Structure 1
Amino acid sequence: FKVVGVFFTSCVISFLCGTNYPTSICFIVVNEFCERFSYYGMKAVLTLYFLSYLKWDKNLSTAVYHAFSGLCYFTPILGAVIADSWLGKFKTIIYLSIVYVIGHVVKSVGAIPTVGNTDVHIGLSMFGLILIALGTGGIKPCVAAFGGDQFEEEHERQKFFSIFYMSINAGSVLSTLITPILRGERSLVHIEVGLFCFFLF
């Protein structure tokens, strides 16, 4: 999927901005689209997962949902510190993207009925959500800055950020629209396992 996405994105970028754009920009834009699709797609069914699968009440489901959302917006501070003082932007994006994927896998394993009891499901789901929060928040301050570093000219950088934020919004909107349509009463877990890990990879 990402190969097709990179090719399509390179065509769009070449059409909009000319043929002299760095190839790395295509990967950055496609990766950001897939990351946002994965994140917002998972969040679109998260409360339903708590209510329908973990059998939590509405108050607990809402509290955990908002705690997870808050953690996702707190971890960019950690990602920025790691990138600036230790690994650099590129390695931070790579390593925390791996953490992100592991989080989705752990959370998905926690949703398999034959794996352990309710306590195991809850433990794996919460651990997976923490890893997802670290991944999505940790790369947030790095991706835009890394993309901006590919350009020396200000007007080229401005074009990039227009395309970059378009890909973020496209991923967010499409996942929020598509996920509830695809979700069936008994297919919630299978959609999350397949679709979101597929887009994140």
Structure 2
Amino acid sequence: MNTQLLAVPSGTVDFPFPDYVITLRLDRAITGDQNCRLDHLGSRDETRTKMAFTFPSDLLPDDVTRLVNLAYEEALRCFERNCSMAAIGMCGRTIETVLAAFYAKQFGKHPSEEQNPPGVNAMINRLRKEGYRFPAGLKERIEVIALHRNMAIHGNIVLPSQDEARSTIYLTKDVLQLVSQGDTNEAAGNESLR
């Protein structure tokens, strides 16, 4: 196989399947017989090394933390199988679970217990009204994820691409990291959602 690959000028050979393409790539920097690597978009290599994230256990109740990690893991599994709508939907679920837990912590009840349960933007606005300052860029990232989730889930006739799912997953990871890192609220003297 290495000999055949060496003959290809680009150093790559594509093996198309109905839902994805596997690319065999020659890495000339690696010497010997180990210079071929199997790659494809949404590969376990990408999801397990670049997208992987575990939400820390000390920020939310244990059952909520498990649910956040389960939803995010499911988004990665859907992405690996080229199920873009499902991956984006699970990213939305992940973020909504975190936001709802912070909302419940701040207001003493889960948003689903409200007479008119708030959506993502309403939760964000109510938290801001109560003095919570979102870390820079967090609110905007959450809004973009919510937009992609709504377009993927609510009957849009345009199906999301694998690249759209990828970017939504990376945004979700960014949000989880921002939420789990230090926050500006404690320094400002405001009630922290942590």
- Report the structure, 1 or 2, having the larger strand content: 2
Question: TM-score normalised to the size of structure 2?
Answer: 0.30
Q: Which has the larger radius of gyration?
A: 2
TM-score, length-scaled by structure 1: 0.29
Bigger relative contact order (CA 8 A; separation at least 6): 1
Higher-helix-fraction structure: 1
